[in-house]
Amino acid sequence: MNRDQQATEFLAWLKGQIPIINHMGFVPLKWDGTTLHMGAELEPNVNDKGTGFGGSLATVATLCGWSIVTLHLRDLGRDDDVVIKESQLEYFRPITSDFTAVTSLPSAEELENFDTRMLEKGRARMELVIEINQDNETALRLTGTYVAMEKRTPVS
């Protein structure tokens, strides 16, 4: 499956898992195996000032980070749970048009450490920076720690 098809199927799956995002105007994802672009329309995410609502921007940025970790794990043939452990948001300027959150996987060394911990411990963390830019300037930056964990089989 090529990356465009993978991104299309992933977004469809995501909309089935998290119903609220069906109302956020998401546009097709761009995923090249290293960098993820997750865009949304301004109109369904607008605040009373006519700019991007901070909660919507935070949601898209948080979801962008969660998604890249999940996509990476799927590329490894894994189906693990991913959660955000902690994050810090910085808002620098208002969003006045459709917007895109962008993040990339960490360095090869950090990724190798993550993959090794998942294999050995069934749990690993990944530090990411997600940015929403407008007019070549950063409007929002989320710095977050995402944790992946092997899914637990329920005891019957």
For residue range 21-51, what is the model confidence (pLDDT) as tens digits? 999 999 999 999 999 999 999 999 999 999 9
What pLDDT is attached to residue 1?
75
pLDDT higher than threshold 70 for residue 156: no
Number of domains the chain contains:
1
- With respect to residue 156, please indicate whether it lies within any of the assigned structural domains: no
Residue 98 lies in a domain: yes
Candidates 32, 42, 38; CA nearest to 14 is 38
> What is the band of 131 on the pLDDT scale with cuts at 50, 70, 90?
very high
Is residue 155 situated within a structural domain? Answer: no
Residue 155 has pLDDT above 70, yes or no: no
Q: pLDDT of 72-83, one tens digit each? A: 999 999 999 999
Give the CATH number for residue 13.
Answer: 3.10.129.10
Is 58 contained in some domain?
yes
Domain extent for 118: 3-149
Where is 86: in which H helix or E strand? strand 81-91
Structural domain contains residue 154: no
This prediction's pTM:
0.94
Asked whether residue 45 is domain-assigned, the answer is yes
* Residue scoring higher pLDDT (1 or 114): 114
CB atoms within 10 A of CB 97: 11
